[in-house]
Amino acid sequence: MKIGIFSSASAQITDENLLLAQNIGKYLAEKGVTIITGGCIGLPSVVARSAFSVGAETMAYYPDLSEGDLLQNVQVHNNDLSNEYTHKKFFKGFTYRSVRMIEDADGAIVFNGRFGTLSEFSIAVEEGLKIAVIEGTGGITDEIKKLAEIVDRQFPNSHVIFSNDYKYAINKLIENIKSSS
């Protein structure tokens, strides 16, 4: 099972979100989940590193065409150059990278985040991906319900789970993924 991590690529991380990202990574690893990120620094990288440190498979989907582009665009794309990815894939641009990541994932976890996280969440909703939103983590996740009201979008419980308890959200997400398989 592959779960995408949609979150902030910012290097500025609160202590609370750092601990949460580490815990999410380890918990997903315990569940035997493969982690997919957009290959960026920030919270997705923390989740991947934490999961990798306890033996999980991790995948980076970079918005670059090649390893050479990855190195050249490290500052532009906030690329994570760590060796904690068991698989690396390269795509041209953020949107195509995000679409491919969503196509390959069985589900996604959304927490904190900025504009890119909102974009990934929106695409994932439209594509019917199972999603868990960890509330109370700041950023765009604290606004998703309000935005859903504005655009008059309903989320069935089996499609998008909202919770401030990451273990509950992950367990429910995995349950929903398994029940739809």
Question: Which domain CATH number covers 162?
Answer: 3.40.50.450
Tokens for 181, please give them: 């398989």
Residue type, position 62, single letter:
Y
Could you read off the pLDDT of 130-166 as tens digits, one per residue? 999 999 999 999 999 888 878 877 776 568 999 999 9
Domain count for the chain, please give it. 1
For the chain, the average pLDDT equals: 93
In this prediction the pTM is: 0.94
For 48-74, how does the pLDDT look when each residue is reduced to its tens digit (9 = 90+)? 999 999 999 999 999 998 888 888 888
Q: Which residues constitute the domain of residue 83?
A: 2-180
Q: Give the pLDDT confidence of 99-121 residue by residue, as tens digits.
A: 999 999 999 999 999 999 999 99
Contact predicate 16/47, CB 8 Å: no
